[in-house]
Structure formats: structure tokens, C-alpha cells
């Protein structure tokens, strides 16, 4: 699909990876709705980068834990741009809780992770489905984690939320075919991101040392993969791992 003149909503575009995706989609020709939940200043920086590419940007506050906020954000995208062709479910939240520490992973933490990382992307896809389906060429890209493929990450809740997001990708690919393709990217540790900095140094070092390429993933590789999945006509229900080539054992995305 030619992305020129399309509109993309990138959730969590105040964050490091979301910003890279928003910039790459703008360079590919998309106007971009930039969402944030608390950090307006960072969202403004992302929007300025989109505009520097000659594309229109809007800034929308979105709390993925709040179904009203999701409905309002979906309406705001259509109000601002008149359409939404691409939804990148990038926003996510995590907290470092070692897997064996079952007591520390309490109900509020579990709910926050699952609501943000899994229920939110579903509700956004549902809210934007009419627009995504409208021209028969909508795109959804979900940003999961290798923690959703293997039992290892910042917490059991995060790993389960991302496993759910990967399977949500499969389910939505069926539900929204043929008018919308739905794909997923599963990063490992992404160097330089705030999320990576929240890992313990030991976990980050171990993740780096386990890659066959000697380097973990980059936000620009994730952004490039997102653009590729949006352009592709016949790829759906797939998950691309961007992790520097980690063996399929305990991982730390």
C-alpha cells in the first residue's frame, strides 16, 4: 500500500519506540496522530518531528486503561484527520518484578499491565474498525515483546500481556480480513529506551550478551519493520522478532 496521504495513529508516540515509528510513517507519507498519557512535552517533540517531514500531526491524550478515553481518542483522530488507515498499538507499561517473586505481582499491578498492554489495543482496534475497514486497506501493527514468545521479561504479567497481544494479532487478522491486515513486532531489549533503563543492569547485560549479532534491537529497526508491514498487501497475522538474534530461551524484552 502506498502510504502517501494516509493517516496513522501511533499510541505511546511520546515514548522512544513510538516516536521512531511516528517519524518513519511520516517520512513514508502519513499524517500522524500522536498519543501520550502523561508526557505532553515528549508528545509535542514527536509531533514536531512529524511536521518537519511535511506531514500533519495531531496530539491526543489517551489512557489505554480507560475505555472512555479510548473512545474519545478514536473520535479525536477522525475529527482531526477525517480518517484512520493505520493503527500502531505501541503504548505499553511494565515494571520489573522477578518471576519467582509471586507475592510482589499483586492484583493492581497485574490489572495495570494487562489493561494497558492487552485490553487497550483490543478496544482501540474495535473503536477504529469502521475507519480502518472503510477503504478496504487498513493496517494494524501491534508492538509486543519477545517476552510474549518465551517465559522471560520484566514480569510474569508483562510476559502474559505480550503473549496475549501476539494472539490478539492472530485473532484480529481473522476478524478483520480481508479489509485490514493485522501484524505484530516482538522486540527484545531496545537499547537506549526508557523501558530498557527500568531493567536491572544485570538483566540488561544478560540480554545483550545473549544476542548472536552482539547487539540488541534498535528503535529504527522496529520503525522500519512497522512501515514494511503497513506497505505490504499480503502479510497478515504475523509476528516479526527484532532482537539482535537471541536464542529461544529466557529473554528480557
Ligand X SMILES: NC(=O)c1ccc[n+]([C@@H]2O[C@H](COP(=O)([O-])OP(=O)(O)OC[C@H]3O[C@@H](n4cnc5c(N)ncnc54)[C@H](OP(=O)(O)O)[C@@H]3O)[C@@H](O)[C@H]2O)c1
Instruction: Give the Cα separation of 117 and 142 in Å (integer).
Output: 10
Interface map 180-209 toward ligand X (x if CB under 6 A): -------x-xx--xxxx-------------
Instruction: Give the Cα separation of 166 and 144 in Å (integer).
Output: 7
Is 44 a binding residue for ligand X by CB under 6 A? The answer is: no
Which residue, 181 or 226, is less far from ligand X as judged by CB?
226
Is 63 a binding residue for ligand X by CB under 6 A? The answer is: yes
Which residue, 137 or 253, is less far from ligand X as judged by CB?
253
Is 17 a binding residue for ligand X by CB under 6 A? The answer is: yes
- Site size toward ligand X, by CB under 6 A: 32
Is 62 a binding residue for ligand X by CB under 6 A? The answer is: yes
Binder of ligand X out of 76, 93, 119, 122 (CB under 6 A): 93
Binder of ligand X out of 90, 183, 218, 226 (CB under 6 A): 90
Binder of ligand X out of 7, 53, 58, 116 (CB under 6 A): 116
Binder of ligand X out of 143, 149, 227, 229 (CB under 6 A): 143
Binder of ligand X out of 53, 64, 159, 226 (CB under 6 A): 64
- Cβ distance 87 to 124 under 8 Å? yes
122 is catalytic: no
Q: Who's near 122: CB < 8 A, 6+ residues apart?
A: 168, 172
Is 42 a binding residue for ligand X by CB under 6 A? The answer is: yes
- Residues in contact with ligand X by CB under 6 A are 11-12, 14-18, 36-39, 42, 62-65, 90-94, 116, 143, 145, 187, 189-190, 193-196, 253
Catalytic residue positions, numbered: 158
Amino acid at each position: 500500500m502506498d502510504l502517501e496521504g494516509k493517516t496513522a495513529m501511533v499510541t505511546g508516540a511520546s515514548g522512544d519506540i513510538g516516536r521512531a515509528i511516528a517519524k518513519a510513517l511520516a517520512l513514508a507519507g502519513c499524517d500522524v496522530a500522536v498519543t501520550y498519557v502523561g508526557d505532553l512535552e515528549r508528545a509535542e517533540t514527536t509531533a514536531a518531528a512529524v511536521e518537519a517531514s511535511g506531514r500533519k500531526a495531531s496530539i491526543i491524550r489517551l489512557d489505554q486503561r480507560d475505555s472512555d478515553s479510548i473512545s474519545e481518542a478514536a473520535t479525536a483522530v477522525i475529527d482531526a484527520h477525517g480518517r484512520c488507515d493505520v493503527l500502531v498499538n505501541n503504548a505499553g507499561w511494565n515494571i520489573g518484578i522477578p518471576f519467582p517473586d509471586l507475592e510482589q505481582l499483586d492484583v493492581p499491578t497485574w490489572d495495570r499491565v494487562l489493561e494497558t498492554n492487552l485490553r487497550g489495543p483490543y478496544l482501540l482496534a474495535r473503536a477504529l474498525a469502521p475507519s480502518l475497514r472503510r477503504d478496504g486497506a487498513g493496517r494494524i501493527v501491534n508492538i509486543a515483546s519477545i517476552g510474549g514468545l518465551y517465559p522471560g521479561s520484566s514480569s510474569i504479567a508483562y510476559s502474559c500481556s505480550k503473549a496475549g497481544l501476539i494472539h490478539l494479532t492472530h485473532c484480529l487478522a481473522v476478524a478483520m480480513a480481508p479489509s485490514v491486515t493485522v501484524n505484530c513486532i516482538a522486540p527484545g531489549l531496545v537499547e537506549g529506551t526508557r523501558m530498557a533503563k527500568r531493567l536491572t543492569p544485570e538483566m540488561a547485560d544478560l540480554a545483550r550478551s545473549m544476542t548472536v549479532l552482539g547487539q540488541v534491537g534498535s528503535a529504527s529497526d522496529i520503525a522500519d519493520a512497522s512501515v514494511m508491514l503497513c506497505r505490504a498487501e499480503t502479510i497478515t497475522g504475523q509476528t516479526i522478532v527484532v532482537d539482535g538474534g537471541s536464542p529461544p530461551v529466557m529473554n528480557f524484552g
